[in-house]
Amino acid sequence: MGLICAVSFTRYGRLYYFQPGRISPRVGDKVLVPTDDGPEVAECVWAPQETDVSAEAFPELVGLADGADLEREADSRRRRAEARVAARRLIREHGLPMKVVGVDWLAGDDRTTIYFTAPRRVDFRALVRDLAATLKCRIDLRQLSQRDEARVQGGIGSCGRDLCCATFLKDFEPVSLRMAKDQDLPSNPMRISGACGKLLCCLKYEHPLYQRFQDEAPAVGATVDTPHGPGRVVGHQVPAEKVTVKLEGGGRCACSLQQVCGPRQSYESSPSADVPVGGN
């Protein structure tokens, strides 16, 4: 148990969780959060609340940002914007197949890190020299994968919500086409791919539910007994934990697993099923 608040470095960006410490930030307040490169300014998007999670697992906020911190953050935004414009211009001049997706600037060692994507390996040595001469600082270029690009840029998924990778996902877990097949999803790449062009990360979320259902439910085509009479399974309703049965006498019905599973039916039809637990 403990107080936890959430902050974000960019509007609608990924959330980071901290202990409020000695301060009580409100939504919209600018706060200082600890990073490897020193305290950075972020915006409080979730005021401190009591949670069931131990607060000791989260770092503590440094404090509220003052005028000097906000001025430093504004200068950082200006330097990042200048670096983005210069990088795009020089990339066009050098004719390189690169796309800038993010820029960081560290005031401590006066270093600008430019994140980019490219379809192949790129020789950017001349570009680094020109960038260093233009921006008057050290330059570090880092190539990102398609999924990292989506995480940095953010966006809206097919579900209408902000991308998981840009909000709460910390690590990318393996996602396979088999997960889509197990969930009876179409194999059309446009339907099961995310903004990054890879398989949707959310295919992983409900896959264990579908695996458990397949282990317990009668297969499609199996003959089962239902409260409405015998029939044949013609479909599964996994989220509702039901199966659709075509009755021999005509019509269809939706039955829960408990109503059609053999072990449960055998138990209910046995004499011991009429004896209450603990009865004599």
**Number of domains within the chain:** 4
Max intra-chain CA distance, the chain: 91
The answer to whether position 158 is within a domain reads: yes
Determine the structural domain holding residue 225 and report its residue range.
218-272
pLDDT of residue 184: 84
pLDDT of residue 159: 85
8 A C-beta contact, residue 91 and residue 100: yes
DSSP class of residue 170 equals: -
Q: Which residue has the tokens 């999803």?
A: 185
Q: For the chain, what is the radius of gyration of the CA atoms?
A: 28
The answer to whether position 187 is within a domain reads: yes
pLDDT of residue 85: 95
Cβ-based neighbour number of residue 51 at 10 Å: 14
Same domain, 17 and 75: no
pLDDT of residue 235: 87
Cα→Cα distances 43→10, 15, 26, 56, 156, Å: 8, 10, 9, 21, 21
Last residue of a domain, one of 65, 88, 106: 65
Return the bridge partners of 104, or none. 113
User: What CATH number does residue 223 fall under?
Assistant: 2.30.30.140
Extract the tokens encoding 167: 């909000």
Residue 116: closest CA among 102, 97, 135, 131: 102
Backbone angles phi, psi at 101, to 5 degrees: -120, -10
Same domain, 86 and 103: yes
The answer to whether position 243 is within a domain reads: yes
Same domain, 33 and 77: no
Measure CA 114 to chain center: 24
The answer to whether position 45 is within a domain reads: yes
Q: Residue 11: how many CA atoms within 13 Å on its side-chain side?
A: 1
Instruction: Confirm whether pTM is higher than 0.85.
Output: no
The answer to whether position 263 is within a domain reads: yes
Cα→Cα distances 156→167, 168, 194, 204, 216, Å: 11, 14, 10, 19, 36
8 A C-beta contact, residue 150 and residue 196: yes
pLDDT of residue 262: 53
The answer to whether position 209 is within a domain reads: no
Strand pairing category for 138-143 and 111-117: parallel
The answer to whether position 95 is within a domain reads: yes
pLDDT of residue 1: 67
pLDDT of residue 107: 72
Residue 53: closest CA among 20, 15, 17, 9: 17
Residue 200: closest CA among 236, 157, 229, 143: 157
8 A C-beta contact, residue 252 and residue 244: yes
Long-range own/partner contacts, residues 229-233 (CB < 8 A, 24 or more apart): 233/260
Round to whole Å and give the CA distance between 133 and 136.
5
Low-confidence ranges of the chain (pLDDT < 70): 1, 12, 261-280
